[in-house]
Structure 1
């Protein structure tokens, strides 16, 4: 996906192809969020105000840049992973079901494919949460002229995570293992809670600095 032009990806998204879809769009938003945060960091570390910070804050920025570089690439990778998982699920529905043995094998394959399909957006949301701590540092100590970019990054990250959970739940509806479903639902609730708390935290810092009411 790294070599695909953004215009080509959007045209694919717009087309009648079933993939990429919402999962890929969510992953792209996550990549853009991490990239925006990285932009703020890059436009902060060589500024005069940055030299006045203590070594702890400086190291948070330099370490943060390394993390953001990896996270943005991981988010891009999830675009392809989501499409692959979806296509894999669709393939299982094409399996033969003429005999009882084939029916059982097909059912087992479908159940596993549903789990595979939800594992990608679930992992994406968990990794996307890591961007929040970096956005918070950027909001507090980054280039003051780029506070709005941190705000946009947080909103896009919120969308990534909420959208990812939607895709988890869509696949969860097809799974028959009730204990497995319950454990995933609990994990989703935890992710959404952390997501909302961190979105609010970043937005409060940004709105205060920008002097906006909302």
Structure 2
């Protein structure tokens, strides 16, 4: 039912977008390019925030399990979505942190749109992967490296840089309970955003394929 509904919504938008983009006969736009633009825009603008919200709630769920002793520190976390989760706790975010969150979301959306929305970029990515891969298996591995592990590593580095000062204050015992909650929430927020961005990038690449 959901697939039929999504098709019924996307199909007329796609057709309208093709007509809109081909108003200038001198610069025709293919139906494939229009579909790629539509799917990437949906993933970047709507999908990324929704996936981030789900990942953020899941990260809190794992935190609660570890805090309650139901999951060991070195034990692998369960698969995402395999367990029922409770709502994440209310966090008294400082105003400057809320602004930073908005900016991170906007930058993430912009990166996805700039990288994957132009159909020429998608074709260039395919050419790059074919050129530097030795076969089907290495093609998938290279794609996973470029659009999975590399972005995730960069977001991990960003998260560490953004929380380094608060981490030092926490280790020195200078944070009260509310500040510790905010720090824990910020770590979960940043890492869950990295996970959501990784998924969104892979979906955008899949849409282009």
Tell me whether the two structures share a fold, i.e. TM-score over 0.5: no
Q: Name the structure with the higher helix share.
A: 1
TM-score grouping bracket, smaller chain normalisation: 0.3 to 0.5
Give the structure, 1 or 2, with the largest relative contact order (CA under 8 Å, sep 6 or more).
Answer: 2
